[in-house]
Chain A
Amino acid sequence: MPFSPKPRTPSPTRLCGLSRSHRITLSGIDFIPDLSGAIFAPEFSALLVADLHLEKGTSLARRGVHLPPYDTRESLLQLEAALEATRPRRLIFLGDSFHDQGARERIDAADLTLLRSITARVETVWITGNHDPAPPEDVGGIIIEEMELGPVSLRHQPKMLRADEAEISGHLHPAAAIHARGHRIRCRCFIADHRRLIMPAFGSYTGALSVRSEAFKGLFGDFHVWMIGDQAVHCFPAARVR
């Protein structure tokens, strides 16, 4: 059997596309989950993404783990495709956009150009995260700790909510598993109740944490998950999630 590789169609590897049937509603605002792991708020023409962890590959490389150095490009191409699909006015990063403070030094010139071309096209906001308390200032966009999108707070780490507050955050990299026909299927997911939404990690090499794990305890009431399959987003109630 000869090895005769054929390249796949050029990136992105994962599909993009807004869900046609699903809406996540917080304080009366609709958010549409995207197959890429982004979420789109039509009322504000804003696209939200969390936890890109750009340059995680080169960060691991320092420890002698040489993963394919295409994670940044992959994530940016993915982001570009999501922008193409939604054409928003605003792009909001929910923190941990860069894997560490040295990411800016290590980013490949072509990838940097790609990133700058994205921020030049849309009004860009970088919310800071624990991995990137001070994101680079020369890649376009403004840097901020928290912000509000109408009645919804946007921040990196989920917080205790005030009585009337609603929030979108990232940080936890949620994943959910369900059982179907004897198979266990685990995917990245959006998780939300009527007040809080936590976004999946957008980055290529980011791991994921089960929504059943300790870190999610006490954050949600009766929640749903929107699991990101290869072709579509699928919604399940908490009772189905293992």
Chain B
Amino acid sequence: MSLPPRFTQWFASRGWAPRAHQLGVLAHAEARESVLLISPTGGGKTLAGFLPSLAEITERGPGAGIHTLYISPLKALAVDIARNLEAPIAEMGLPVTVETRTGDTPHSRRQRQRQQPPDILITTPEQVSLLVADPHAAHLLRGLRTVILDELHSMVTSKRGVLLSLALTRAQAHAPGAIRIGLSATVADPDALRAWLMPSGAEPAPLVLGKPGAKPQIRILSSVERVPWSGHSSLYAIPEVYEAIGQAKMTLIFVNTRSQAEMVFQALWEANDGNLPIALHHGSLDVAQRRKVEAAMGEGKLRAVVCTSTLELGIDWGDVDLVVHVGAPKGSSRLLQRIGRSNHKLDLPSQALLVPSNRFEVLECTAALQAAEVNAQDTEHPMAMKLDVLAQHILGRACAGPFHPDELFAEVASAWTYRKLTRAEFDRAIDYVATGGYALRAYERYAKLKPQADGTLRLAHPRLAKAYRLNMGTIVEDEMLKVRLAHVKRRLGKRVVVGGRVLGEVEEWFVSQLTAGQTFVFAGEVLRFEGLDEFGALATRSNDKEPMVPSYQGGKFPLSTYLAERVRQMLADPKSWRDLPPQVRGWLSLQRFRSVVPKAGQMLVETFPRAGKHYMVCYPFEGRLAHQTLGMLLTRRLERAGLQPLGFVASEYALVIWMVRDLSLAVSSGRVALGRLFDEDMMGDDLEAWMAESALMKRTFRNAAIIAGLIERRQPGKEKTARQMTVNTDLIYDVLRTHEPDHLLLRAAWDDAAEGLIDAHRLGAMLRRVKGQILHKALDTVSPLSVPILMEIGRESLYGEGHDALLAEAANALADEAMRLV
């Protein structure tokens, strides 16, 4: 536990003392042990990670190659951390060089980093994979002593973390003595992170805990306005949010989706009678624009910023003293992480204001507030073993040089994430990388990996290494188009649109549904779509207040299982309704009077007629994805039972299905048993039959196919020819299902869908939970609890995914029109 004198003097000169957790990490590092530090933001966590390296490099002397890899999830964060590290290094006069390497680092600098590596390299997970795929990796990493993993909790829950875990096994092979220091915010299961840091089978890394911060002060907005039944815009609360901004020095306003951010920003701007400087920050905005906002925050020039998760992680960009969360936070940990952005100093309590956008969200916000009070965590578990990621890693391994499969298997299986990988699975992945892994051995002579006499495998062509570098990574984004602000000019009496500066990027599917002249909200303005040119979409400023095309697509994050449970308990316990605003309390009391409120553990199913149709509403509170899957499966069953379902809509909290026949009657006459209807066995053949044709499944397959390198990503600049040539992944999916149903990629896609878009795991758990616990209420009319979901009907898409139905409808509508004209 010794800090060199230079360091202690530096701390003293600033009137600080090293904190206990900083010394704790140092002690483990000195003993050459990996360690996990869990500490709230603002606790000097970053410095805790760096101290051991700074001390050791000072002792060792500079210029002996990369000593420390610092891995951060965000590019911008890497740059800021490097800048923040410069101060202590300069002030202590340490002989330590620090550089960054991200996707933006120019080629010349990378070359130089290769010749003269810095002592500390601050970088991102993808760059680590690229580094170990370099033929010179062994030389570059020979002096590696420490790997610091920043914001580890956020990296391990995605495929990025899985790929990183494999890159780390490679780095470890070059530097067996290197230790890992994980830095993390508070998580639900620290033991999983401790295990993640270590080779499989080893003792979990020791844990050092930072001092917890002051308890946050959270309140829920109690509006004088009526809280809406449904929807996500929260526009009713804008005057009150604006007032709160006026009272604070600097406010961060978090929302869940980009389009929500646009909407809230625009509404605030309209309410901005005091001309407060309010800005917007989200992932689709142009980078330069985002950097400008961050700089203005740092200089204290702004009073409020509306943002998505883009400002959730990392260092401070100013003196935030209030966090407003518009819409429900969906999880306790996410809420805590976000409100930790205010009063980013440990001793002061964070101030937060929650703004529910509808009545169910009032329940959810209340549950989140209670969870945050007891500091309950509901972070996801680290993601394990993904076959598509493994395939990418194998190709990367081959780019570094020939390898022996036995050795690579041992290395991969040493990652905690792949501890359950079998040799057979590994061999299939190798086969896939080499020739596509098809039963029809058509590609032997075009294999990417060639067996050598000594049993090793070698990359068949250097061109493949180049393709790897362009296509690696696990983040598959929607195809994006640049949006440029255009000017309209008159030339020879004609209206000519000329492109101007780039405003940001928007999903291609969104642009494709626009026609010239339609207005939409982007970058905080209402824009008029003018058309496309070879660089992307062109738009001009519009005077419209209301955009013609809304772009809302529902919450991005599903409600966490933990919060869902809390909401269900709150609903079941009328005594707890005291804490709710009067309107919401009244709504629930009316539900008790008109229908029934389910007890803890029960799931309520209501059936009632309305406007000539029959409705069934159930309330599982398992998130929209799981409800959507349930809707698909239940409509199949209801169809077989002859009830003629017409459509369904799923929300975060409930599912409604409407049909021609009377379900109440079918239940009371014993023709349909709800217990049978909701039986877990729907997860078998029905699920499989539906998934096979599902568009969600095809999207998941596309992602796996790109990650595994079956098809190449579109490269910027190449799109024009690529568009015509790209083989549609839906076709590949169909062909594979026909000819090779147990192919590795189909399996990878199935696994992803089951935990992702289809959320089958959660649905399965829910069906088990409600077995024998279904509370049926047949009603004469709509129940109070069902109003919000009924109001969603018409906003969301409808039953089935078949495009043919829509095509036929559109064609028939034309025919009708034609008949009228006659």
Answer yes or no: A116 CB below 8 A from chain B CBs. Answer: no
| A51–chain B nearest beta-carbon distance, Å | 12
Asked if B440 contacts A70 (CB within 8 A), the reply is yes
A232 near B808 with CB under 8 A, answer: yes
With beta carbons under 8 angstroms apart, the residue of A6, A173, A227, A235 that contacts B688 is: A6
**Number of chain B residues close to chain A: CB under 8 A:** 61
Task: State the CA gap A178–B806 with chains docked (Å).
Answer: 10
Docked-complex contact A4 and B688, CB < 8 angstroms:
yes
Whole-angstrom CA separation of A177 from B810 in the bound complex: 12
Q: B interface, by DSSP: helix, strand, loop or mixed?
A: helix
Complex Cα–Cα for A69 and B747 (A):
18
B813–chain A nearest beta-carbon distance, Å? 9
Chain B residue nearest in CB terms to A10: B738
Closest chain A residue, CB of each to CB of B468 = A64
Interface pair A7/B741, CB less than 8 Å apart: yes
- 0/1 interface trace, chain B 780-822, chain A, CB 8 Å (1 if under): 0000000000000000011000111011111100100000000
Q: Is B464 on the interface with A (CB-CB < 8 A)?
A: yes
Which range holds the interface residue count of chain A? Answer: 35 or more
Q: Known contacts A4-B688, A64-B446, A242-B515: does B741 contact A231 (CB below 8 Å)?
A: no
Q: Decide if A13 touches B446 in the complex (CB within 8 Å).
A: no
B739 touches A68 (CB 8 A): yes
Question: Do A180 and B738 touch across chains, with their CB atoms under 8 A apart?
Answer: no
User: Residues of A contacting B436 with CB < 8 Å?
Assistant: 61, 66-69
- Give A177 to B511 CA distance when docked, in angstroms: 13
Asked whether B490 is an interface residue with its Cβ less than 8 Å from the other chain, the reply is no
Q: Is the CB of A173 within 8 A of B803?
A: no
Q: Report the stretch among A42-50, A124-132, A155-163, A202-210 that lies at the interface.
A: A202-210
Closest to B739 in A: A70
Cβ contacts B298-333/A at 8 Å (1 or 0 each): 000000000000000000000000000000000000
Looking at the complex, which one of A6, A61, A184, A235 makes contact with B741 (CB distance below 8 Å)? A6
Contact with A along B417-452 (1 / 0, CB 8 A): 000000000000000000110101011001010000
Q: Say yes or no: A64 contacts B467, CB within 8 Å.
A: yes
Specify which chain B residues have a CB less than 8 angstroms from the CB of A57 in the assembled complex: 442
Task: Answer whether residue A182 sits at the interface, using C-beta atoms and an 8 A cutoff.
Answer: yes
Do A8 and B737 contact each other (CB < 8 Å), given the known contacts A66-B446, A66-B710, A182-B513?
A: yes
Known: A64-B446, A209-B724. A234 touches B738 (CB 8 A): no
Structural contact, A3 and B750, CB atoms closer than 8 A: yes
- Looking at the complex, which one of B435, B509, B692, B810 makes contact with A178 (CB distance below 8 Å)? B810
Contact status A69-B440, CB under 8 Å:
yes
Taking CB atoms and an 8 Å cut-off, the chain B residues in 680-709 that contact chain A are 683, 688, 692
Nearest CB on B from A38, distance (A): 17
A3 contacts across to B, CB distance below 8 A:
742, 747, 750-751
B202 interfacial contact with A, CB 8 Å: no
Taking the complex as formed, is B583 at the interface, i.e. its CB lies under 8 A from any CB of chain A? no
Listed residue (A4, A70, A185, A240) with the most chain B CB atoms within 10 angstroms of its CB: A70
Are A232 and B804 in touch, CB under 8 angstroms? yes
| Of the residues B731, B803, B804, B811, contact of A205 by C-beta under 8 Å | B731
A183 at interface (Cβ–Cβ under 8 A)? yes
Contact A13 B735, CB 8 Å, known A66-B710, A184-B509, A240-B814: yes
| A137: min CB distance to chain B, Å | 24
Q: Are B747 and A173 neighbours in the complex by a CB distance under 8 Å?
A: no
**Distance, CA A69 to CA B711, complexed state (A):** 14
Q: What CA separation (Å) do A126 and B688 show in the bound complex?
A: 42
B173 at the interface (CB under 8 A from A): no
Q: Cβ of B736 < 8 Å from any Cβ of A?
A: yes
Select the residue from B438, B683, B739 with max chain A CB neighbours within 10 A. B739
A180 touches B807 (CB 8 A): yes
8 Å CB contacts to A: which residues of B40-57? Answer: none
Which residues in A have their C-beta under 8 angstroms from that of B798? 181
Q: Does A84 contact B (CB under 8 A)?
A: no
Instruction: Please name all residues of chain B whose beta carbon is closer than 8 Å to the beta carbon of A121 when the two chains form the complex.
Output: none
* CB pair B515 A65 closer than 8 Å: no
Bound-state CA distance A229–B727 (Å) is 18
A205 neighbours in B (Cβ, 8 Å): 727, 731-732
Residues A231 and B513 in contact in the complex (CB < 8 Å), given A1-B764, A65-B712, A240-B810: no
* In the complex with contacts A178-B810, A207-B725, A240-B814, A1-B802 CB distance below 8 A: no
Confirm or deny: A89 has a beta carbon within 8 angstroms of a beta carbon on chain B: no
B463 within 8 A of A: yes
Contact between chains at A8 and B710 (CB < 8 Å) = no
The reply to whether A64 and B803 contact each other, CB–CB distance below 8 Å, is: no
Are A68 and B802 in contact (CB-based, < 8 A)? no
CB 8 Å contact bits of B134-167 with A (1 = contact, 0 = none): 0000000000000000000000000000000000
Kindly report which residue of chain B lies nearest to residue A21, judged by CB atoms.
B811
Question: In the complex, what's the smallest C-beta–C-beta distance from B633 to chain A, in angstroms?
Answer: 13
**B736 partner, pick from A1, A58, A68, A240, beta carbons under 8 A:** A68
Task: Please indicate the chain B residues that have their CB under 8 angstroms from the CB of A165 in the complex.
Answer: none
**Residue of A1, A14, A61, A185 touching B683 (CB-CB under 8 A):** A1
Within 8 Å CB of B808, what residues of A? 229, 232, 234
Is A184's CB under 8 angstroms from B512's CB? yes
Give, as a whole number of angstroms, the nearest-CB distance from B747 to chain A: 5
For A73, list chain B residues within 8 Å (CB).
739
Tell whether A236 is near chain B: CB-to-CB under 8 Å. Answer: yes
Q: In whole angstroms, what is the CA distance A186 to B748 when docked?
A: 27
Give the CA-CA distance A185 to B806 in the complex, in Å: 9
CA distance A182 to B795 in the complex (A): 11
B807 near A204 with CB under 8 A, answer no
B512 touches A5 (CB 8 A): no
Which A residues touch B740, using CB under 8 A?
A: 68, 70
The residues of B that contact A1 with a CB separation of less than 8 Å are 683, 750-751, 754, 760-761, 764
Other-chain residue from A62, A65, A204 in contact with B711 (beta carbon distance below 8 A): A65
Q: Which of B741, B746, B811 contacts A234 (CB 8 A)?
A: B811
Minimum distance in angstroms from B387 CB to a CB of chain A: 11
Cross-chain contact of A64 among B464, B731, B743 (Cβ < 8 A): B464
Which A residues lie within 8 Å of B443 (CB)?
58, 61, 66, 69
How many angstroms between the C-alpha atoms of A68 and B727 in the bound complex? 12
Complex contacts, B639 vs chain A, CB 8 Å: none
- Min CB–CB distance A208 → chain B (angstroms): 8
Contacts of B373 in A (CB 8 A): none
Contacts of A173 in B (CB 8 A): 724
Q: What residues on A are CB-neighbors of B742 within 8 Å?
A: 3, 5
**Most central of A8, A62, A180 by chain B CB within 10 Å:** A180
Q: Is the CB of A185 within 8 A of B448?
A: no
The answer to whether A74 and B735 touch (CB under 8 A), given A66-B436, A184-B513, is yes
Query: Nearest Cβ in chain A — how far from B697, in angstroms?
Result: 12
> A61 contacts which of B442, B711, B727 (Cβ < 8 Å)?
B442
Contacts of B83 in A (CB 8 A): none
Give, as a whole number of angstroms, the nearest-CB distance from A182 to chain B: 7
B509 with A180: CB separation less than 8 A:
no
**A11 contacts which chain B residues (CB < 8 A)?**
738-739
Residues of chain B with a CB closer than 8 A to A148's CB: none
Nearest Cβ on chain A to B620's Cβ, whole angstroms: 18
CB <8 Å contact, A68 and B735: yes
Interface residues of A in 66-124 (CB under 8 A from B): 66-71, 73-74, 108
State A196–B460 Cα separation when bound (angstroms).
47
Q: How far is the CB of B608 from chain A (nearest CB, A)?
A: 27
Interchain CB contact (< 8 A) of B814 among A108, A177, A181, A236:
A236
Q: Which chain A residues have a beta carbon within 8 Å of chain B's beta carbons? A: 1, 3-8, 10-11, 13-14, 57-58, 60-62, 64-71, 73-74, 108, 173, 177-185, 187, 204-205, 207-209, 227, 229-232, 234-237, 240, 242
Additional A-B contacts beyond A207-B728, A229-B804 (15; CB < 8 A): A5-B747, A57-B442, A58-B442, A64-B464, A66-B438, A178-B810, A181-B809, A187-B807, A207-B723, A207-B724, A207-B726, A231-B804, A234-B810, A236-B811, A242-B512
4 A-B pairs with the lowest CB-CB distances in the bound complex, closest first = A66-B436, A69-B442, A5-B741, A180-B810
A-B contacts, 5 of them at CB < 8 A, read A65-B710, A66-B446, A179-B515, A207-B723, A232-B808
